[in-house]
Structure 1
Amino acid sequence: MRMLFTRTVLLLTGVGFILTSCSKREVSQKTGIAYNDKNNGGYERFRQSHPAPGPGLIPIEGGTFVMGGSADQDVTYDYNNVRRRVTVPSFYMDETEVSNQDWLDYMHWIGITFPDDHKLYYDAIPDTLVWRRPLSYNDPYVENYLRHPAFQDYPVVGVSWDQVQEYCTWRTDRMNENILREKGIMLSWKDAAGGGKGKATAAAGKPANKDPFNTDIYLNGQYKGAGIDGKKMIVDISPTAKAATGANGKAGGKILRPARIEDGILKQRYRLPSEAEWEYAALSLIGNTEFENIDNNKVYPWNGLGVRSAKQKTRGLIMANFKRGEGDNTGVGGYLNDKADITAPVRSYQPNDFGLYNMAGNVNEWVQDTYRQTSFEEFEDFNPFRGNEYKDKRMADPNKGLFAKDKYGKPILDPSKSNKKATYEELLARQQAAANGGNATGAANTNPANPNPVAGNPLAGKPYNPDFRGAADSVNMTLYGTTTLVNDKSKVYKGGSWNDMAYWLNPATRRFMDEDESSAEVGFRCAMTMVGAPEINPSGKPHYSIKKPKTYKAK
């Protein structure tokens, strides 16, 4: 088969490297030109693959399910989870909630990378004051929960939705940087640290870019050169390739280059799961499905209507960490039922049928969606999500295609100007507009209700706006947040916590909190987009036989 199906969990070696060692070169099925031949223009074709997940993730095979369908009651009378059948694509999800140790790793990196930026470090610290209650003695948790090693495997709490976004970016960059250093495409960790002596080696030299590694900046060719490039960079066979400046830019007469997205070496970005992804993963109906038939639905991430284990060895034990009733967080002394008074370690209780721990109880979990009561009635039936706010990377030098960077080495993002690819003339006009500080005509935009006016006619219809949540709607001025607590900063969290009743353990329940707020009952786990074929484990399943394309021979 053309698509190389593999088990997602297998480590794929050599993905993306040019097939120069193959005795038979692949050729284009449409032109007959051989791939990976530097003599005919250097057209490149890379090995098709089913990438392995990033660290901490496990694959979730997507499919159709009834979102909101597991809710058997609405005790809050919110009417915010109307049932609707949707399809969720396959994706990856953290096996466990992000722990205190994981977050301390993040804070440590900030401390050693930007030792003088006290604001950046302070902004990354979770709000430990979320443990305080007016009539409870919780001060020991304020002081100890985040940093004491006794709690290192417990889920991090007190983190806002905004803080989680920064963590996801950091985690993505550290993962991809580690991949490149381990593969030798960038300097190894030891060489970058001066052979373990804390100073750059002579071979490494002074880094050409002192900014921390950023995936987008690297893929745009702005993170390379002396002190960055490794000994195992990829051979560039393009006839227009130029040797990079630096010791490793050219080796043995071959021009070397950094990795590209086409190589398949770098992984997708970490992010929060969408509400649909989270609910689908928590419900885990895959364990109740055979030949597309669902034997039994679920109320919780496990089978049955109760919250106690029916297995002989664990009979009677609570299946998740939650509050059984007023004043009952853990059971009776001498036989603690759920073994936890507040949170529990992230690997506690039995995982669901996808292998995910604590998808009910322990802590509620942030998802990426912006909250609206009517979301279930309005969004798409494929990969539903509310919260799109499209942004583009700002150009520092449009002629060279260089991205503008902030002081932390990350690309600066601006609201998108269009919902489709601009013509080259439109692109040049926007670049000139940025230089003039106004719109495409050079005049300043003075209409705040219409931030992206149509050039020459600011009142012509409804212009494109990158915010698809409705906040910047220039036609319908009846907005959320005027008479309710719901606004565009309202983000969804799900799953129930150690301090919630059993009702909230149902995957369909949903609540919201402002993105800059936090709680002792809310944590998170990350997800990652899966690219390629959606089937996780195709072995033992029927498939159509597909013939390989015929090899073209010029006559």
Structure 2
Amino acid sequence: MKKLIVFAVTVLLLYSCGSKDRGQLVGVKGKKWYPEKPYGMALIPGGSFIMGKSDDDRAQVFNAPTKTVTVRSFYMDDTEITNSEYREFVQYVTDSVVRTRLAILADELGEIPGNGGIGEYAFKDADTAGLSVYQKYMLDNYTGLGETGYEGRYLNWDEDLIWDTEDYPDEYYTEVMDSMYLPMEEWYNGVRSIDVKKIKYQYIWMDVEAAARAKKGTDRKNFLKKEELEIYPDTTAWIRDFSYSYNEPMHNDYFSHDAYSEYPVVGVSWKQAKAFCAWRTWKHNQFMRGKKQPNVNNYRLPSEAEWEYAARGGLESGTYPWGGPYLMNDRGCFLANFKPLRGDYAADEALYTVEAKSFEPNDYSLYNMAGNVSEWTNSSYDMTAYEYVSSMNPNTSFNDNNRKVIRGGSWKDVAYFLQVSTRDFEYADSARSYIGFRTVQDYMGTDLTVQ
């Protein structure tokens, strides 16, 4: 009995000596964390506002009755996503597809780094000597469980891709690169072009709303949704949207030419905008993991309520983002890029889009929340939505509703569509020459609201 008491006291002493909390409940201490404003975004402080038409609904749509709602704080891109920013996404996906094809062929041929040919682009785990214990475990137990048999393998990003045909290292590399281009009979003006149908991005997202409504115990995998889609903008929208109109220069150059780098990207569907958000989240988190920092919140499309709240810039019941009911300033200059007067596109000094950072920003430092391009939101369109949505962070997001809300009006719209309360929609799989998007990210940390 005495031995048992001595043993118990010894264990207690050992535990007490190794702890600094003196036996008190102090909680689990993590790293000190500070919120960081993402580059190119503005912080929108949460608060309440009157959503909907505060004046006469002259279009007689009656789909936006006034409703007091509250939204939480979030970050929002201060401009629409530009061609330059979307090109970074396209280039990354293109590089990923090429590296994957190179690695698979190298694996099939049994080529490894050191020979100077396609083997330099073999999977990173082709040589297991440099892998950690964890990486070896994952390679042995989890790779190759998907459709292709190569899922989970590590691509080699250390070796630069060779795009100049004169510098291709061997015939196998040439074979892979040739597979990425259009066949010779489809070349135009002698230009060898990438086959954009092969530039596909794949990602997985979780349907949290479905999970919340499912029966307890339902497997998590039932709510994981796999998406794979082409992500190159549909440049033919410039021709298709306007019958009997010459817009070929925009079709040929708008997305690809450096002259339009800082202009908003268009021809991007709602689904492609969602894919961009997933990639941007992944890109940021890759950096954070390298710094051994916690993951950031997801980048996403704004809800309809968040978009309107941000567009108002803290001004209650304003007609436009600048507050007043007028479309010109005191010097007679238009305040946005749209189709003014009796359809005079050029009266505001712009025929098509303008650079994303044009005109004066609203009081939240957001540019072109009216005009330039309409913007995708994450909300599904329902004429009666305001009658049943929650008054806290309202949103209608239905997977079976292909109509998605767009806001803000565009360069080809009349003034009515520029009003912050005007609702419109487009189909999720549609791409238009007048629709772009901007992203948001939830604010974490101390509650930041406007009284």
Q: Same fold (TM over 0.5)?
A: yes
Q: How many Å separate the matches in 2 of 1:275 and 1:269?
A: 17
Give, in angstroms, the shift of residue 113 of structure 1: 1.2
Q: How many Å separate the matches in 1 of 2:43 and 2:430?
A: 30
2:199 is the counterpart of 1:121 = yes
Q: 1:307 aligns with which of 322, 327, 334?
A: 327
Change (3 A) 1:50 1:78: farther
Decide whether the 8 Å contact of 1:69 with 1:84 is kept in 2: no
2:335 is the counterpart of 1:324 = no
Alignment of 1:19-98 (within 5 A): 27=21, 32-33=24-25, 43-47=28-32, 49-70=33-54, 72-98=55-81
Alignment of 1:138-537 (within 5 A): 138-181=247-290, 183=291, 185=292, 265-285=294-314, 288=315, 297-310=317-330, 315-331=331-347, 338-387=348-397, 488-535=401-448
2:119 match:
none
Q: How many Å separate the matches in 2 of 1:45 and 1:159?
A: 41
Decide whether the 8 Å contact of 1:300 with 1:506 is kept in 2: yes
Give, in angstroms, the shift of residue 274 of structure 1: 0.3
Q: How many Å separate the matches in 1 of 2:233 and 2:51?
A: 32
Could you list the runs of 4 or more consecutive aligned residues of structure 1 that deviate by over 6 angstroms after TM superposition?
none
Q: How many Å separate the matches in 2 of 1:26 and 1:388?
A: 51
1:414 match:
none
CA deviation vs aligned residue, 1:345-383 (integer Å, no higher than 9, x gap): 000000000000000000000000011000011100000
Give, in angstroms, the shift of residue 176 of structure 1: 1.6
Decide whether the 8 Å contact of 1:110 with 1:120 is kept in 2: no
Decide whether the 8 Å contact of 1:155 with 1:523 is kept in 2: yes
TM-score normalised by the chain length of structure 1 = 0.53
Give the count of matched residue pairs. Answer: 307
Matched AA of 1:75: R
Give, in angstroms, the shift of residue 323 of structure 1: 0.5
CA deviation vs aligned residue, 1:251-281 (integer Å, no higher than 9, x gap): xxxxxxxx5xxxxx32111000000000000
Q: Secondary structure at the match of 2:328?
A: coil
CA deviation vs aligned residue, 1:283-315 (integer Å, no higher than 9, x gap): 112xx5xxxxx6xx31100032211112xxxx1
Decide whether the 8 Å contact of 2:47 with 2:449 is kept in 1: no
Give, in angstroms, the shift of residue 73 of structure 1: 3.1
In the alignment, structure 2 segments of 5+ residues that lack a partner are: 1-18, 102-179, 181-194, 201-229
Give, in angstroms, the shift of residue 50 of structure 1: 4.7
Q: How many Å separate the matches in 1 of 2:34 and 2:350?
A: 40
Q: Secondary structure at the match of 2:199?
A: helix
Change (3 A) 1:497 1:26: farther
Q: Secondary structure at the match of 1:114?
A: helix
Q: 1:102 aligns with which of 85, 89, 99?
A: 85
2:150 match:
none
Instruction: Give the RMSD, CA atoms, in angstroms.
Output: 2.2
Give, in angstroms, the shift of residue 536 of structure 1: 6.6
Change (3 A) 1:80 1:536: closer
Matched AA of 1:179: M
Q: How many Å separate the matches in 2 of 1:327 and 1:165?
A: 33
Matched AA of 2:390: E
- Structure with more of its chain in helix, by fraction: 2
Q: How many Å separate the matches in 1 of 2:80 and 2:95?
A: 25
